[in-house]
Amino acid sequence: MGLFVVVILIAMAGQYSVSTLKLRDFNVPDVAMRGEAVWLNCSYDLERDKLYSIKWHKNNVEFYRYLPEDNPPGQKYELLGIYLDLDLCKEGNIYMSKTDVHSEGIYRCEVSTEAPFFRTVKREREMRIYVNPTSKPVIRGVKPQYFRGEVVNISCISAPSRPKAILKWWINDQEAPIEDLFRPPTTESLEGLFISELILKFRARPHHFKDGRMKLICEAIILQAHTLRSEEIHISSNSTMPRKTIFSDYDVENDGPTIIGGKSKYDVGDVVDVKCTASKSQPPAELHWYINDREAKPEYLLPLEQIVHGDGSVSTKLGLQFVVKHRHFQKHEMRLRCTATLSKVRKMSSEVQEAEISEQHMSDLHVDLDTGEVLNRSPGTCKMHQIARISTLLSFLILYAH
Ligand SMILES: *[C@@H]1O[C@H](CO)[C@@H](O)[C@H](O)[C@H]1NC(C)=O
Ligand SMILES: *[C@@H]1O[C@H](CO)[C@@H](O)[C@H](O)[C@H]1NC(C)=O
Ligand SMILES: *[C@@H]1O[C@H](CO)[C@@H](O)[C@H](O)[C@H]1NC(C)=O
């Protein structure tokens, strides 16, 4: 087997001196609330070059191009989720008069220059579309009173939102154990909103009650996330290729994750050992590695490293380590990149529901199979006299955490 010399070409920030073409301002909002109008801005510094075109793509499909030589210079192409107002668009700065869930995606601006250099720079960023829930999650099925040993079978349902809510159950301020939870599939409406449900099922035991009462709260957590991509590392398997550094024409986001490590040359059989580092955040960034646009296998990943800073924010690092094989190459090239997903946490709690415990044990009773009602077998020994009630504490807990 011939020795493959693998050259690692790392496009590094600040090394674009080969080209005079630079993106000056690139602005795609990470998040837009559904319906909101947005500007997508892309401007450039040409220096000595002459502009040929500015193109905007969403998920690799072109929807706008600006060619100074054309009449009119700005043109749009119909695309789902794109609502351009051409009258307001100015060169690379484009205006969307509204957004909907189809507007979500990765937006790329590409600026190219004329002869003789034909240079291209591009940058991309994801925009997500969010819809906040308009109400608190609701709890269904709580009975006013439970007997010892009786099955508590209740459900929490979130108001429609995007992204979907993650639900949690709290029994007397303690999070419910995972084995008592059942998660029916999330439903998605036609407008792209999600409704989550979490069922809590357990047998009522005295320890579930504090002074005879059980307090139940359901919490909806919405992680409003956006994903940033790192620069891409290109590794070539072609030993005859001139060993010259080729810079990616992707401009680098300054707040995106960075790749550290990596050698300038690899052979098949060598170990690639690189790390992806996200800027600090709270909650910690979620990192993913991609090899040729496919997510890296878990066995290629090193344990996640986290450094907690004084202000509570966390720096996250994820290592990628694997032996270079022929199959990692597509057309003699392998591309590596990582993504960091940063989230803002939005929490919303249900109203508090309370239930009481009856002194009576379940085995002293029998359940009417038709109505589900618990009946006393011997009414003469009935100790029950509590009045059933559900107290709804009007504590509107809307917490925002960052
Ligand atoms: C985007 O461009 C428009 C028009 O040039 C401008 O009004 C707006 O302030 C710009 N937005 C940002 C965030 O740069
Ligand atoms: C729990 O409640 C749901 C509906 O609320 C019902 O379909 C299900 O059979 C119940 N399960 C038990 C074990 O009681
Ligand atoms: C390797 O690169 C050289 C120069 O770019 C090219 O001529 C040659 O065909 C490539 N070899 C293979 C096997 O692709």
Cα distances (angstroms) measured from residue 221 to each of 110, 344, 398? 37, 10, 11
Q: Look at residue 369 in the predicted model and tell me its pLDDT.
A: 43
| Mean pLDDT calculated for residue range 312-334 | 88
Distance in Å, CA 292 to ligand 3 centroid: 20
Residue 334: how many other CB atoms lie within 10 Å: 22
Q: pLDDT tens digit string along 354-401?
A: 988 887 665 555 544 444 455 544 443 333 332 222 222 222 222 233
User: In whole angstroms, what is the distance from residue 240 CA to residue 155 CA?
Assistant: 64
| 206 within ligand 2 shell (Cβ under 6 A) | no
Strand partners, 321: 273
| 182 within ligand 2 shell (Cβ under 6 A) | no
| 141 within ligand 2 shell (Cβ under 6 A) | yes
Q: Look at residue 185 in the predicted model and tell me its pLDDT.
A: 94
User: In whole angstroms, what is the distance from residue 95 CA to residue 85 CA?
Assistant: 6
| Mean pLDDT calculated for residue range 247-266 | 69
Q: Look at residue 306 in the predicted model and tell me its pLDDT.
A: 93
Mean pLDDT of all residues belonging to the chain? 81
Q: pLDDT tens digit string along 195-230?
A: 999 999 999 988 898 888 999 999 999 988 888 877
User: In whole angstroms, what is the distance from residue 111 CA to residue 120 CA?
Assistant: 5
Which ligand 3 atom is the nearest neighbour of the CA of 238?
A: 1
Distance in Å, CA 328 to ligand 3 centroid: 17
User: In whole angstroms, what is the distance from residue 328 CA to residue 335 CA?
Assistant: 9
| 93 within ligand 1 shell (Cβ under 6 A) | yes
Enter the DSSP assignment of 116: T
Q: pLDDT tens digit string along 127-168?
A: 999 999 999 999 999 999 999 889 999 999 999 999 999 999
Q: What angle do CA 103, 59, 273 make, to 5 degrees?
A: 125
Strand partners, 272: 322
- Omega cis (within 30) before 72: yes
- Residue 178, SS3 per DSSP: helix
Q: Look at residue 9 in the predicted model and tell me its pLDDT.
A: 34
Q: Look at residue 14 in the predicted model and tell me its pLDDT.
A: 35
Which ligand 1 atom is the nearest neighbour of the CA of 25?
A: 14
- Which of 27, 87, 93 to mutate for ligand 1's pocket (most ligand atoms within 8 Å of CB)? 93
User: In whole angstroms, what is the distance from residue 29 CA to residue 26 CA?
Assistant: 10
| Mean pLDDT calculated for residue range 49-70 | 94
Residue 363: how many other CB atoms lie within 10 Å: 10
Output the pTM of the full model. 0.67
Q: Look at residue 243 in the predicted model and tell me its pLDDT.
A: 39
Asked if residue 227 lies in contact with residue 165, where contact means CB atoms within 8 angstroms, the answer is no
Nearest to 111 by CA among 101, 121, 102: 121
User: In whole angstroms, what is the distance from residue 2 CA to residue 77 CA?
Assistant: 48
Q: Look at residue 383 in the predicted model and tell me its pLDDT.
A: 33
Strand partners, 6: 266
Which ligand 2 atom is the nearest neighbour of the CA of 140?
A: 5
Highest mean pLDDT range out of 93-102, 254-263, 281-290, 376-385?
93-102
* Sequence-distant contacts of 102-105: CB under 8 A, at least 24 apart: 102/192, 103/32, 103/58, 103/127, 103/129, 104/128, 104/129, 105/58, 105/59, 105/81
Q: What is the largest CA-CA distance in the chain?
A: 101
More confident residue, 242 or 233: 233
Nearest to 282 by CA among 241, 315, 329, 244: 315
Q: What percent of the chain has pLDDT over 90?
A: 50
Q: Look at residue 362 in the predicted model and tell me its pLDDT.
A: 59
Q: Look at residue 301 in the predicted model and tell me its pLDDT.
A: 97
How far apart are the two ends of the chain, measured CA to CA in Å?
Answer: 54
Confidence of residue 251 (pLDDT cuts 50, 70, 90): low
Confidence of residue 248 (pLDDT cuts 50, 70, 90): low
Q: Look at residue 38 in the predicted model and tell me its pLDDT.
A: 97
Q: Nearest ligand, CA of residue 331?
A: 3
Q: Look at residue 400 in the predicted model and tell me its pLDDT.
A: 31
User: In whole angstroms, what is the distance from residue 116 CA to residue 301 CA?
Assistant: 44
User: In whole angstroms, what is the distance from residue 43 CA to residue 173 CA?
Assistant: 52
In which order are the strands placed within the sheet that holds 94-96? 22-27, 38-45, 94-96
Tokens 């189809």 correspond to: 102
Nearest to 254 by CA among 8, 2, 14: 14
pLDDT tops 90 at residue 5: no
Tokens (6 digits) for 25: 């301002």
| 27 within ligand 1 shell (Cβ under 6 A) | yes
Return the residue whose CA atom lies nearest to atom 3 of ligand 3.
241
